[in-house]
A and B are shown apart, each in its own frame.
Chain A
Amino acid sequence: MDLSPVILTLKLAAITTVLLLLIGLPVAWWLSKSKSILKLIIEAIITMPLVLPPSVLGFYLLLAFSPQHGIGKWLRDVFDVQLVFSFPGLILASVIYSLPFMIGPIKSALQQLPPSLAQASYTLGKSERQTFMHVLLPNIRASVLTAATLTFVHTLGEFGVVLMIGGNIPGVTRVASIAVYDAVENQDYSSANAYSLILFGITFITVISVFVFNKYKAKSPLE
């Protein structure tokens, strides 16, 4: 069995999770304290991947980053970069698609902290950044871990978006979920079963690990 789709999937999920941690923490922090109209608009945009069919999102990403149009044309002309049908394109699509899974739990956890924690830190002369790093972030560790895990396992299972923007290029964009589909299409049920079992196993072990690490306190995404 060709293991490259599994390795590619794990690589994609790991890179997406790290990038989304870097993007998601400051965005969730801003969303948790902002009361502006801009916040509502950004929250709505971030939530869209949760409710939109993945193929629709993938289609628009394909249009946006196609070398013949808009941003994709600009990227190709200025930086000689092509995102569609490439691994960086998959990363971009995954980051956008999994954004609500990272930001949602972190934002909720920050909103549930008593405002007096940050206020106490401010009166000690600490800046907002110091307060976030030393007071707020350490007290939402469990939620950050939950968010990172959700992002990771959600990326493992992506299908529609990655198929639209990445296609099915072996070793480049063929991730495990696409390999399952491809194997079924070719009536190679033993390979489909093997890829599916690997995905199921990795996902199950990851989720169980979080529950154990959080001492059974990890929150369900539906809570």
Chain B
Amino acid sequence: MISIDIEKSLNSHNHLSVLQITQEIPVGSITKIYGPSGAGKTTLIKVIAGLTRPEKGRIRFNDITWLDTENGIFVSPQQRKVGLVFQQYALFPNMTVLQHLRYATNDETWIKQLLTIGKLEAFAQQKPEYLSGGQQQRLAILRAMATKPQLLLMDEPFSALDPEMKTELINDLQYLWKELATTVLVVSHNPLELEGIFQQEILIKSPVAGA
């Protein structure tokens, strides 16, 4: 079980608001996080990944405390080792597709399998600047999966894919997630996205005004 109970201030458009989330997520499930722009969806997954610290709260993953502000516990992102697909991909401009995956893992068989799933075998030696938006997005997903994370966080991961590619990729990923017992949290602003795939959803409403 992933247990989240956090409070994080958000600075947007010169006014202060607060993101408050209390949620329990079953391990191995697929959860969709949706809500309006600026509600704090991206902030939430960065807090879970350990890239941003909330002012208050606790996060536990499988009985391991990742964050407890009261007791001063903060597990680093390196130790949490969640898979994270960034909204803007965050690909490394100096690395080819293959180098991205080799940076994340030494398992060559796994790398080959990932390249096949992402249909990027032919582009293995290409750097991100020579890839299309859809190819870049697939590489970002493959890189996040490369470490076989127990928890995968995805921020608008399918926005640049055509419907056919998206369906095919999601099917393949679902198979992998099941095999690896991966817990998946997918951020989407589209309420209809991933219909029939996720087991639960979290609606993040507009944040409450801060003091």
- A116 with B94: in contact, given A122-B77, A123-B51, A124-B143 (CB under 8 Å)? no
18 sampled A-B residue pairs with Cβ under 8 A: A114-B88, A116-B86, A116-B88, A117-B92, A120-B84, A120-B92, A121-B103, A122-B51, A122-B76, A122-B78, A123-B49, A123-B51, A123-B80, A124-B103, A124-B143, A124-B146, A135-B92, A139-B94
Q: Which residues of B contact A120 (CB under 8 A)?
A: 84, 86, 90-92, 143
Looking at the complex, which one of A114, A125, A134, A138 makes contact with B78 (CB distance below 8 Å)? Answer: A125
Interface of A is mostly: helix
A119 and B78 contacting across the interface, CB-CB below 8 Å: no
Shortest Cβ distance from A114 into B: residue: B90
- For residue A111, CB closer than 8 A to chain B, the reply is no
B90 and A116 contacting across the interface, CB-CB below 8 Å: yes
B84 and A139 contacting across the interface, CB-CB below 8 Å: no
A139→B103 CA distance, assembly (Å): 15
- Quick one: which of A126-142 are within 8 Å of B by CB? 126-127, 134-135, 138-139
Most buried by B among A114, A116, A119, A120: A120
A123 and B84 contacting across the interface, CB-CB below 8 Å: yes
- For residue B104, CB closer than 8 A to chain A, the reply is yes
- For residue B163, CB closer than 8 A to chain A, the reply is no
CB distance from A125 to the nearest CB of B (A): 5
A123 and B88 contacting across the interface, CB-CB below 8 Å: no
CB distance from B149 to the nearest CB of A (A): 8
B143 and A117 contacting across the interface, CB-CB below 8 Å: no
Looking at the complex, which one of B77, B83, B91, B143 makes contact with A119 (CB distance below 8 Å)? Answer: B77
Chain A to chain B: the 3 pairs with minimum beta-carbon distance, closest first: A116-B90, A138-B94, A120-B90
- For residue B43, CB closer than 8 A to chain A, the reply is no
B90 and A124 contacting across the interface, CB-CB below 8 Å: no
A121→B147 CA distance, assembly (Å): 12
B103 and A123 contacting across the interface, CB-CB below 8 Å: no
Q: Which residues of A contact B103 (CB under 8 A)?
A: 121, 124, 126, 134
- For residue B93, CB closer than 8 A to chain A, the reply is yes
CB distance from B186 to the nearest CB of A (A): 16
A164→B207 CA distance, assembly (Å): 62
- A125 with B147: in contact, given A138-B94, A139-B93, A139-B94 (CB under 8 Å)? yes
Q: Which residues of B contact A117 (CB under 8 A)?
A: 90, 92
